[in-house]
């Protein structure tokens, strides 16, 4: 398969990955730019290494070091790291896939398809993770688990104590829990109800529609007032 076709397929795949999957779900513009830049850069350098005498292993090693430095420079979630490596993989498949042909296309489709499925909001939507600061120092793990279940109203699956402050009486904990089905359904229903405007019934303002017209003031009493005032002066 020709290289220009692979380049075009790679650009289409990374566009779907960034604008079709990541941005609608996570809404971070800076990482969209990073994914596109990393993919195009890897694609260009991998294509150059594929047609030169420099070993491809050296190029891949350099990209590994650069990616580690980039990923350590800012705080990213594990989902965003997965999108990073997906963009890298698409660039490598597009730049080094001239000899593999349809296998590179299948690899690109597999990468995009896996990210579309595993990052879908409906996949493991009840599994949640939070960092919680408890306003008491709890040294007993069982007691801490019971307290977190009462606080979150969910079943706690795992607890990892990050910091135990006996002076300030606080506990910093990373908790993983599963939301109950009824709570998730009620939250979804409340969100959909709050987003729909309530209709105003016509019977809510009957007085505004049935107000009798006010008669204009008559001027018949004005002459009488004047005559009465004249008689008093006389």
Residue 160's DSSP bridge partners are 174
194 has a pLDDT exceeding 60 = no
For the chain, what are the domain ranges?
A: 3-118, 127-182
Please tell me the pTM assigned to this model.
0.66
Helix ranges (DSSP H) in the chain:
3-15, 23-26, 29-50, 56-72, 78-96, 102-118, 141-152, 181-194, 206-209, 221-233
Count of CA atoms in the C-beta half-sphere (13 A) of 23: 15
Token digits of residue 71: 């990923």
pLDDT at 229: 44
pLDDT at 72: 59
Assign 230 a pLDDT band (cuts: 50, 70, 90). very low
Taking all residues of the chain, what is their mean pLDDT, rounded to a whole number? Answer: 77
Count of CB atoms situated within 10 Å of the CB of 145 = 19
pLDDT at 46: 82
Percent of the chain with pLDDT over 90: 36
């Amino acid at each position: 398969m020709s290289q220009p076709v692979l380049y075009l397929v790679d650009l289409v795949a990374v566009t779907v990955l960034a604008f079709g999957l990541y941005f609608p779900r996570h809404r971070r513009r800076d990482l969209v730019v990073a994914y596109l830049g990393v993919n195009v850069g890897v694609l260009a350098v991998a294509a150059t290494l594929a047609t030169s005498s420099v070993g491809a292993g050296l190029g891949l090693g350099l990209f590994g070091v650069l990616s580690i430095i980039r990923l350590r420079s800012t705080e990213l979630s594990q989902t965003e790291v997965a999108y990073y490596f997906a963009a890298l993989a698409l660039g490598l498949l597009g730049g080094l896939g001239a000899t593999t042909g349809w296998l590179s296309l299948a690899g690109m489709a597999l990468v995009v398809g896996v990210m579309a499925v595993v990052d879908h909001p409906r996949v493991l939507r009840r599994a949640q993770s939070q960092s919680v600061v408890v306003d008491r120092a709890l040294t007993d793990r069982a007691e801490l688990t019971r307290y977190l279940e009462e606080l979150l109203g969910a079943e706690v699956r795992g607890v990892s104590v990050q910091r135990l402050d006996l002076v300030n009486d606080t506990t910093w904990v990373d908790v993983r829990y599963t939301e109950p089905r009824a709570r998730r359904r009620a939250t979804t229903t409340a969100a959909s109800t709050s987003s729909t405007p309530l209709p105003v019934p016509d019977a809510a303002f009957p007085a505004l529609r049935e107000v009798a017209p006010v008669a204009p003031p008559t001027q018949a009493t004005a002459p009488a007032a004047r005559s009465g005032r004249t008689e008093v002066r006389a």
